Structure 1
Amino acid sequence: MAPRKKSPNMVWVVKSKQPAKTTEPATDKKTSSVSSLLSDSVSKLHLSSSEDHTSPPDWSTLPEELLHIISSKLEDRFDFIHARSVCRPWRSIFPYPSSSLRTTYSLPSFRKFPRRVSGAFCTLERFPVFLFRLLSPHNTPPSQFFVGGVRPDNQTPRSDPTLLNIADHQIIPLGHMCRMVGYDPNSLETSYRGVAFLEVNEENGEFVVLIGYAHDILALRSTEMRWSRVDDCSRADCSDIVTFRGKFYAVFINGDVFAIDPYTLKTTPLRPPNIPGCGRCNYLVPYGDDDDELYLVERIIVRNQVLSFTKLTCRVSVLDVEAGEWVVVSDLGDRVLLVGKPGNSSGNGSCSAKELPEGCGVSGGSMLFINEIFDETFPYKYGVDTGNPGDDLNVWRCSRETRVSILNKSPMVALRIERAEL
């Protein structure tokens, strides 16, 4: 993240209550001294800046004692990132938030599986993902969104980074995603098709990794550090793997879905009902910080018809974990499903529309395909009336009230949402 200078009109404010008694408790004395120190420091900054109106206040002159106090009061991870961007001396005081760091794991290479290549390794990267919405005065389209992760500015990525002034953005966490460094699940040059990570013993740091490779699902336990084939699974190519409530869920290009136990690697088929005369592209989308729901989005492709992405319909189901089956739904409530992923990562995201301002172009009960082949798409909603009497209303289809332009796909997805011209 590039350093950002604060504007001259920025001030720190501390609210404190006057003590009711003449004798101040120790905590009140401490608060009073902090307030006095803060007031004196800010006054000096304003005095120095008023003498030279062309230069902003020099925030690097704030006492280190005050910075440590401020650092101890911060809770939000992006407050730390904001503070680190003020000036270079602050970076030694405000640590980069560990919750935003990427975790990497060096694993044995799977490139020539089932052969084991001595001394060959691959790198798994697990990182938090966020939805960034550029703030605007009226919260009306056109709106600009970004989906991706963040990294410290001293970690140089392999590709050109997307630089954002995050002080100008609303930030919504979307959970974690994984990627194999140097591998692209959408590339035809390799047989790699996605990865998922699951911690099985937090105390001992034990984990299990699953990848889709060629026609197989491969598993690696940290206690063994070797790849093995998962038996009794689909023979079709895997298209993606996600985690939900302590299990892996893999989806395949032929429509198969399997749940995989991380301890036994036992598989359970969860194939949704067929749609006569149609093929489909399936996507798994977890929702909620506590694994509230797992959605299956099926993009329906009618056979023997001209393919038009803007006219494709969808069927959406939610997993009934106890019954072990998919239940078709027509209502997502206030939820927004983000189908697609930034760069070469695995997994899909979701959020609540309650976290977004009304009228920003994204509403509850909708889906956004954020990584399309073409650079334009539309939100999907249920029961959209196309004006054609022959079109079924009991499906999810494009709502042309707003148009989504995909400006960038890697390393972050960049979207512009604007009102469509009808």
Structure 2
Amino acid sequence: MAADWSQLPEDLLQQIYQKLNNQFYQLRFRSVCSPWRSSISKNHLNNLPTKLPSSCSNSNNTSITLSLSKRSIFLITPPPNQQTLNPWLIKIGPDSNNQTHLWHPLSRDTQFPLYHPIIIDFNQISVRDLGREFVIGNFPSRRPLYIDCNNSLDPGKVVVCDTWHNGIDRCSLLLTIHGTGELAIFRCGDEQWTLIPSISEFPYTDVCMFNGRPIAVDIFGEVVEVRPDLSLDLVVEHGMYGGKKKVLVESDGELLLLVSGHLSYDYDDSVLDDDGEGIYDGAVQIDVFRLDEKEKKWLHVKDLGNRVLFWGEDCAFSASFIGNGNCVIFSDAVFRSVHSAELGISVFHLDGRCTSPLSDFPCYSNLFWPAPEWVKLNIDNSRVCVLD
């Protein structure tokens, strides 16, 4: 008699689920059948709370809490015998009302306009898991109302480490950047955020997970790893003095650093960014560096091969494409450009050192909304949710 796998005990299903460190496999686990799906909470965040304190002390802000939501980034790829078709890039996650939506992959707040509800069955369509994005705070509001800017978080990019060990047992944590430029950490069981004493006099600009380790970079390229005892282990010293913005991205097992600048500097102080600074109206240029951990330095990368790097508001990720690559696709909102390209997205080509509108390259613009025709043929418009 064939075994009925749908009748496995719930505690056994939960043990199996916890062994799946890759989120995409976790999604497929929940897609097997209704009992397997119901055995795991939809908003399972490795025992992390869905509400977080907005400050790092027990002062006036203790009554203010911020929401935590998780979004997953996927590349839906065509069947092996139809490689000439365009893939589809999506981001799936809940809104402020905990309703699942399709989000623009490079935007924190923009949802895809679903005129008809759809369901995507990941067991039927080939999908590549490109990463995830954790968002603190409600949307579309970019930041919470600060009571004390020296005590509040800057809820931009946040990363979650679910394989961390605190010396006793497995412990999940969140890592983000405090409003002062210091690192802030929230561990399972904590009641408030903890500021990590810095080993640098300069503010940190980005955080990421690399090989299961929480990593941060400051404005001059110094990289540190957060250790379980909350000490900082120096990975790369200072030595990179150019660029207005820096962001980390893991790509094919490598840690890359994207550094932005401008080809022209037409400064406009009549338009201010989120930090109250004037905006540069000029073409963006981007340099890519690869971390050499053995030599403890950044190496300049001039050719990414068939890899494409994506730089969004609160996320950065990469993907490989047959016959295309060696470029960075970025949201203009990252740089607060005065003049945005069509759809607010541009392409920087590493070989020609130039920036182009996304619309000039259908092989890239077709990655975004709307869904390609071959995808539409494989989804059911009669259902009312996105299967995740």
Tell me the TM-score range normalised by the shorter chain: 0.5 to 0.7
Tell me what 1:316 maps to: 288
Larger Rg: 1
1:373-384 paired onto structure 2 within 5 Å? 374=340, 375-384=343-352
SS in 1 for 2:303: coil
1:160-309 aligned at under 5 Å gives the runs 163-166=117-120, 170-182=126-138, 186-187=142-143, 189-190=145-146, 191-198=154-161, 199-201=163-165, 204-215=169-180, 216-222=182-188, 224-232=190-198, 238-252=204-218, 254-267=219-232, 268=234, 270-275=237-242, 279-288=243-252, 292-302=253-263, 304-305=265-266, 307-308=280-281
Alpha-carbon shift at residue 100 of structure 1 (Å) = 8.1
Q: Give the stretch that moved more between structures: 317-326 or 232-241.
A: 232-241
The count of corresponding residues between Structure 1 and Structure 2 is 309
- From the superposition, tell whether residues 286 and 255 of structure 1 become closer, same or farther in structure 2 (CA, over 3 Å): same
C-alpha spacing 1:82/1:193, structure 2 compared with 1 (3 Å):
closer
Distance of aligned partners of 1:224 and 1:348 in 2 relative to their CA distance in 1, 3 Å threshold: same
Q: Describe the superposition over 1:259-294 as per-residue Cα deviations: whole angstroms up to 9, x where unpaired.
A: 13232333336445224xxx4221111124xxx111
Scaled by the length of structure 2, the TM-score of the pair is 0.61
Instruction: Determine the structure 1 residue equivalent to 2:318.
Output: 350
Matched residue, 1:61: none
Q: Partner amino acid for 1:295?
A: L
Superposition deviation, residue 405 in structure 1? 5.2
C-alpha distance 123-76 of structure 1, shift in aligned 2 (>3 A) = closer
> 2 CA distance for matches of 1:77 and 1:97?
12
Shift of 1:230: 1.6
Question: How far is 1:316 from its partner?
Answer: 0.4
Is the 8 Å Cα contact of residues 381 and 399 (structure 1) preserved in structure 2? no
**2:328 match:** 367
State the one-letter code of the partner of 1:402.
Answer: F
Mapped partners of 1:248, 1:94: distance in 2: 31
Equivalent position of 1:95 in the other structure: 37
**Alpha carbon RMSD of aligned pairs, Å?**
4.6
Cα pair distance change 1:194/1:257, threshold 3 Å:
farther
Mapping of 1:407-422 within 5 angstroms?
Answer: 414=369
Q: Would you say the 8 A contact 2:135–2:157 is kept in 1?
A: yes
**Cα pair 2:48 2:172 within 8 Å, conserved:** no
Alpha-carbon distance, 1:330 to partner = 0.9
Question: TM-score if structure 1 supplies the norm length?
Answer: 0.57
Displacement of 1:297 in angstroms is 0.8
**Aligned residues of 1:332 and 1:364 also touching (Cα < 8 A):** yes
Q: 1:270 to 1:134 in 2, by over 3 A?
A: farther
Q: How far apart are 1:219 and its partner, in Å?
A: 2.0
Letter of the 2:68 partner, please give it.
L
Distance 1:120 1:148, change over 3 A: same
3-state SS, counterpart of residue 313 of structure 1: strand
The Cα of 1:144 is off from its aligned counterpart by 6.8
How many Å separate the matches in 1 of 2:133 and 2:309? 15
1:95 partner letter: R
Identity of aligned residues (%): 15
CA separation of 1:156/1:248 partners in 2, compared to 1, >3 Å: closer, same or farther?
Answer: same
Q: 1:313, CA displacement in angstroms?
A: 1.7
Contact 1:282/1:297, CA 8 A, preserved across alignment: yes
Q: Say if 1:147 and 1:270 are closer, same or farther in 2 by CA, change over 3 A.
A: farther
Residue 325 of structure 1 and its aligned partner are, at CA, apart by 1.4
Larger deviation, residues 170-179 vs 363-372? 363-372
C-alpha distance in structure 2 between counterparts of 1:320 and 1:177, whole Å: 26
Structure 1 residues 187 and 237, CA, compared in 2 at 3 Å: closer, same or farther? farther
Q: 1:55-204, aligned counterparts within 5 Å? A: 92=34, 95=37, 102-103=44-45, 105-106=48-49, 109-116=52-59, 121-132=65-76, 143=86, 145-149=88-92, 156-157=99-100, 163-166=117-120, 170-182=126-138, 186-187=142-143, 189-190=145-146, 191-198=154-161, 199-201=163-165, 204=169
Structure 1 counterpart of 2:361: 402
Report the Cα distance in structure 2 between the residues aligned to 1:396 and 1:97, rounded to whole angstroms. Answer: 50
- More deviation in 106-115 or 159-168? 159-168
Contact 2:173 2:187 in 1 (8 A): yes
CA distance in 1, matches of 2:217, 2:143: 18
> Does the 8 A contact of 2:137 with 2:143 survive in 1?
no
Superposition deviation, residue 298 in structure 1? 1.0
In structure 2, relative to structure 1, the CA distance for the partners of 1:249 and 1:371 (3 Å cut) is farther
1:242 Cα deviation from its structure 2 partner: 0.8
Q: Secondary structure at the match of 1:263?
A: coil
Question: Could you list the runs of 5+ residues in structure 1 that have no partner in the other structure?
Answer: 1-29, 35-64, 84-90, 385-394, 408-412, 418-422
Q: Which amino acid letter does the alignment assign opposite residue 193 of structure 1?
A: G
Q: Distance in 1 between matches of 2:199 and 2:141?
A: 19
Shift of 1:383: 1.9
**AA aligned opposite 2:261:** I
> Contact between 1:193 and 1:238, CA under 8 Å: does it hold in 2?
no
Secondary structure of the structure 1 residue equivalent to 2:48? strand
Shift of 1:237: 5.6
Q: Is the 8 A contact 1:220 1:227 kept in 2?
A: yes
Listed as ranges, the matches of 1:24-39 within 5 Å are none
Q: 1:78 to 1:177 in 2, by over 3 A?
A: closer
The CA distance in 2 between the partners of 1:239 and 1:249, in whole Å, is 11
Contact residue 214 and residue 237 of structure 1 kept, 8 A: no
Residue 348 (structure 1) shift: 1.5
Q: Deviations over 1:205-243 (max 9, x none)?
A: 312322212113222333654422222255666543211
